[in-house]
């Protein structure tokens, strides 16, 4: 047998397999296009001349590029207030959520904890049934959180679903690590901080992404528990822009921001710009956490 026969350079595949791969590539390409193009369209529309963009149709490059809409939007004082509140809500809310989730998941992952099944069932019950919007509002009101920043981060601070993912991940870690730390004199808190959490980084990163995206996109808590523009978040500001006439909303928010140049803009361009401004930051952060997503979720999803 010759060397060429032992190591063939070309393997002929059946026609059916080749055709199937072509179909799969086409389908995946269409799915990717249908997912990405709406974001790209919003971005291109926002930096296009309003009159040129109104001609409609697909366009992959800006038509008569201009950043006039961004100049008008960023001149309004309210969008900076909304940005500040959204960033603070995302950072503080995610930190509190991760802390509470880790402190709850760790004891429930320890097999020697006798009450862990009872407390796990109690938390799981909240995934099936909840008190509802009105009882939650009454609790927030009675504890004095209405019209405060904490009303946007405390009521929904911990997700039972995320807690179970982290608990299962911790539960799959070798128990010998915890036993060794206990023999060396480490208490439960030291073991959690120095051993369990560093080993749970993939799951923590995935859960942090869930909490971060949820806090960034959320606006119902702001809508229900606050009634002042000082606490308005970006998504609620975007909702106001989308529901009302965009230029009128900007004018009422900050009359000095809309000058003679803004007369060239249409409501649709301002809406697209506001959408782009609210979406781009989270799209920039997502790729840095996405690499932890698969490992953190698949390992944490193992039944324990």
pLDDT tens digits along 196-236: 888 888 888 888 888 988 898 888 888 899 888 888 888 88
Distance between CA atoms of residues 165 and 105, nearest Å: 9
DSSP state of 149: G
Terminus-to-terminus CA distance in the chain, angstroms? 53
Q: 27 falls in which pLDDT band (50, 70, 90)?
A: very high
> In this model, does residue 245 exceed pLDDT 90?
no
Give CA–CA dist 4/6, Å, rounded.
5
- Closest by CA to 73, choosing from 250, 264, 261, is 250
Q: Check residue 193 and report its DSSP letter.
A: I
Res. 290 pLDDT band, cuts 50 70 90: low
For residue 142, name the pLDDT band (cuts at 50, 70, 90).
Answer: very high
From residue 56, how far is each of 51, 121, 274 by CA, in Å?
Answer: 10, 54, 19
What pTM was computed for the model? 0.75
Residue with tokens 């909240």: 126
Which of 32, 35, 45, 34 shows the shortest CA–CA distance to 276? Answer: 45
pLDDT at residue 2 greater than cutoff 80: no
Give residue 212's region: left, alpha or beta (phi > 0; psi -120 to 50).
Answer: alpha
Question: CB atoms < 10 A from the CB of 217, how many?
Answer: 15
Angle among Cα 124, 289, 86 to the nearest 5 degrees reads 75
8 A C-beta contact, residue 148 and residue 233:
no
Q: What is the pLDDT of residues 49-86, one digit of tens each?
A: 777 777 767 777 877 877 877 877 777 778 888 889 99
pLDDT tens per residue, range 112-129: 888 888 998 999 998 888
Q: Which position has the higher pLDDT, 268 or 95?
A: 95
Angle at 234 between CA 37 and CA 34, to 5 degrees: 10
- In the chain the domains, ranked by start, together with CATH numbers, are 3-68 (no CATH), 70-300 (1.10.3720.10)
Q: What is the DSSP letter of 13?
A: P
Per-residue pLDDT at 260 exceeds 80: no
């Amino acid at each position: 047998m010759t060397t060429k026969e032992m190591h063939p350079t070309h393997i002929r595949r059946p026609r059916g397999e080749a055709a199937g791969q072509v179909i799969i590539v086409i389908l995946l390409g269409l799915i990717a296009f249908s997912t990405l193009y709406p974001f790209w369209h919003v971005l291109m529309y926002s930096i296009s001349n309003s009159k040129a963009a109104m001609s409609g149709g697909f366009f992959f490059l800006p038509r008569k590029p201009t950043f006039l809409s961004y100049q008008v939007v960023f001149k309004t004082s309210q969008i900076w207030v909304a940005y500040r509140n959204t960033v603070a809500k995302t950072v503080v809310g995610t930190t509190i959520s991760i802390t509470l989730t880790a402190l709850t998941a760790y004891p429930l992952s320890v097999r020697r904890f006798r009450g862990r099944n009872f407390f796990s069932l109690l938390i799981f019950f909240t995934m099936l049934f909840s008190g509802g919007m009105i009882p939650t509002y009454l609790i927030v009101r009675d504890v004095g959180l209405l019209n405060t920043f904490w009303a946007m981060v405390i009521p929904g601070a911990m997700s039972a679903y995320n807690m179970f993912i982290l608990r299962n991940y911790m539960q799959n870690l070798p128990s010998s690590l915890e036993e060794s730390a206990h023999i060396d004199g480490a208490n439960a808190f030291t073991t959690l901080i120095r051993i369990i959490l560093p080993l749970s980084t993939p799951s923590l990163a995935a859960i942090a992404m869930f909490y971060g995206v949820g806090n960034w996109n959320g606006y119902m808590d702001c809508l229900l528990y606050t009634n002042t523009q000082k606490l308005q978040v970006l998504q609620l500001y975007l909702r106001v822009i989308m529901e009302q006439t965009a230029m009128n909303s900007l004018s009422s928010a900050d009359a000095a921001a809309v000058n003679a140049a803004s007369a060239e803009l249409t409501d649709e361009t301002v809406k697209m710009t506001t959408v782009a401004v609210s979406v781009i930051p989270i799209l920039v952060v997502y790729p840095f956490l996405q690499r932890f997503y698969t490992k953190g979720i698949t390992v944490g999803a193992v039944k324990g």
